[in-house]
Amino acid sequence: MPDNNPKTLFIASDHGGFALKEYIKENLKGRIQLKDLGTNSEDSVDYPDFAHLLAGQVAGLPEASGILICGTGIGMSITANRHRNIRAALVHDQFTARMAKEHNNANIIVLGGRVLEPAEALELVQIWLDSEYENGRHQRRLEKIENRNLNSTRDVSAPIDRVDPEISRLIRQETEREESKLIMIASENCVSQAVLEAQGSALTNKYAEGYPGKRYYGGCQFVDQVEQLAIDRACALFGAEHANVQPLSGSSANMAVYFSVLNPGDKILGMNLAHGGHLTHGAFVSFSGTHYQSCYYGVDQKSETLDYDVIEEIALREKPKLIVAGASSYSRTLDFPRFRAIADKIGAMVMVDIAHIAGLVVAGAHPSPVPYADFVTTTTHKTMRGPRGGMILCRKQYAARIDKAIFPGLQGGPLMHTIAGKAVAFKEATTPEFIATQKQTVTNAAFLASCLQKKGFRIVSGGTDNHLFLIDLSDLPVKGQSAEAALDRAGITINKNGIPFDPRTPTDPSGIRIGTPIASTRGMREAEMEIVADCISSVLKHPEDNSVITETRATVRDLCSRFPVYSYRL
Ligand SMILES: *Cc1c(COP(=O)(O)O)cnc(C)c1O
């Protein structure tokens, strides 16, 4: 079945509706393909879990519909109707089944398993499926369900699916992609509903050039408090003396640090891009390589890990003004005290870029650089699980220079809705749930890497201490580009990635990068990583075998439906 089959029909029940669900499935088999979302036995369960699950799926897929069954149908219909764009109709007889479609265009039919005879219930489903929505005057009424402001000419409360169906459809399709595929891109994560709400709030309207209490615009009394909360929470979370939460991205955070303490032409020492460093650490295609003199350290060819004695030699020889630690595809723990000691030998400053590992640092799953670094930069959207953006932490002595580098140095008005999202994410990051998830992220990565090793794959550096690892495909027929494509077709999204000393080009490198943040945020653990290892292994060994791809896609889809990203969406 294609990803966006417009006729997708879901079915779900609780224990009270289980028998009827099985009966309906059995009798519709062959005519209509039903996607069963559970429950799978008569053991007692809670109906809202299944109603939310099904309603979320129906709301997220264009033209999908669903059948919900509980004892009376009442609880299921109350729950499903909490979802936007859901019209769940509890029907009792042929007339209400027909009207539910003709007048109300119900996209969910709800049945009482203890109210209806099975044959009768089946007939109601059939009537509902066969009936046609009349449209006309009913459409106005349906729109009034979702939108109470129809008479205004400036209809600001109209939902996006009315204002811009094209974009709305694409958002739904992207949401469905994120739900139904297992995203193992190491730099991605999925934020909470609370972060999404902050990001989608009226704060996007507000200009607030400057900093809390020192703005160049009026009306900042509330956004001042938002930004101050974000700053205070960031400082508390990382034990930092100062935080700037305005950087638009990880790259602009790094740029601001360079602008604050370096002059054009000054020397920076960063990790080689080809060994796992980031573009902004001195790569020649980035401002960091063109505006500054850059030199690099890399990993040892044999161990594929950093050799700090060699880094020290390079630092003593090159005498950079700033040493940058941090990486985008390095799977081992970074030794921050050693970076500090090396810098102190030549009087250099240290910037640590924890864009990838910030969440791990918060959870104590990776040592913190804060006591050792002059500057710590990060993105807020990777393991940190906040909105897309950046942040700078620094010692007090640099606070004024950093703030000036961001505004007015590099940016104009800050994105206050994003800063609100960052504040929410920082609050979430103090919860035991967040900390446990970060620890599980590391456990999952190590376990998945070891499962793949047992299947014969070579993991760069022999394993991982963090949330990611690289698979070296040199000895396989499939290489980075086709591995990425085949895995995506099978429902696992990763990225191709160079390995250290890669003889191949970045457009089709020898490796792929795999990360566990999203799988872990979704609640997956070792048992699921074992399934994922089987899937990755079969696809990499048979990348052109369509039956393997199809079978794997089904396995991944099933796995993903058991671990929803958003179990329901209001
Ligand atoms: C992702 C990343 C960045 C850049 O983040 P953007 O928000 O994409 O600009 C910077 N440094 C490192 C180490 C990264 O991995």
Instruction: Look at residue 1 in the predicted model and tell me its pLDDT.
Output: 36
For ligand 1, mutation pick of 258, 353, 383, 513 (most atoms within 8 Å of CB): 353
Catalytic (active-site) positions: 207, 209, 353, 379, 382, 388
Nearest CA to ligand 1 atom 4: 250
Distance between CA atoms of residues 36 and 501, nearest Å: 48
**Global pTM?**
0.79
Q: Is the peptide bond before 408 cis (omega within 30 degrees of 0)?
A: yes
Evaluate: CB of 329 within 6 angstroms of ligand 1.
no
Degrees (nearest 5) of the Cα angle 427, 372, 352? 70
Looking at residue 397, the DSSP 8-state letter turns out to be G
CATH superfamily for 8-144 is Sugar-phosphate isomerase, RpiB/LacA/LacB (3.40.1400.10)
CATH of 434-562, one of 3.40.50.300, 3.90.1150.10, 3.90.850.10, 3.40.50.620: 3.90.1150.10
Q: What separation, in Å, do the N-terminal and C-terminal C-alpha atoms of the chain show?
A: 27
For ligand 1, mutation pick of 189, 245, 251, 351 (most atoms within 8 Å of CB): 251
For residue 414, give the nearest of 230, 189, 171, 192 by alpha carbon.
230
Distance between CA atoms of residues 79 and 70, nearest Å: 11
Taking CA atoms, 303 is separated from 237, 297, 299, 380, 383, in Å, by: 34, 14, 8, 31, 26
Residues whose CB is less than 8 angstroms from the CB of residue 402 and which lie 6 or more positions away in sequence, other chains included: 242, 244, 256, 257, 260, 375, 392, 394
The upper half-sphere exposure of residue 138, i.e. CA atoms within 13 Å in the direction of its Cβ, equals 12
Mean pLDDT split into 10-residue runs, the chain, 570 residues: 59 97 93 91 96 91 92 97 94 97 97 96 97 93 75 67 89 92 98 96 98 97 98 98 98 98 97 96 95 97 98 98 98 98 98 98 98 98 98 97 98 98 98 97 98 98 98 96 98 97 95 98 97 98 97 96 74
Evaluate: CB of 250 within 6 angstroms of ligand 1.
yes
Q: Which CATH class is domain 198-428?
A: alpha beta
Residue 41, number of CB atoms within 10 A of its CB: 9
Evaluate: CB of 356 within 6 angstroms of ligand 1.
yes
Instruction: Look at residue 6 in the predicted model and tell me its pLDDT.
Output: 44
Q: What is the DSSP string of 278-305?
A: -GGGT-TTSHHHHTSEEEEE-B-TTT-S
For residue 309, give the nearest of 350, 272, 338 by alpha carbon.
338
Evaluate: CB of 272 within 6 angstroms of ligand 1.
no
Give the H/E segment covering residue 91. Answer: none
Q: Tell me, in angstroms, the distance from the centre of ligand 1 to residue 325's CA.
A: 13
Both structure tokens of 485: 């494509």
Segments making up each domain of the chain, as ranges: 8-144, 147-176, 198-428, 434-562
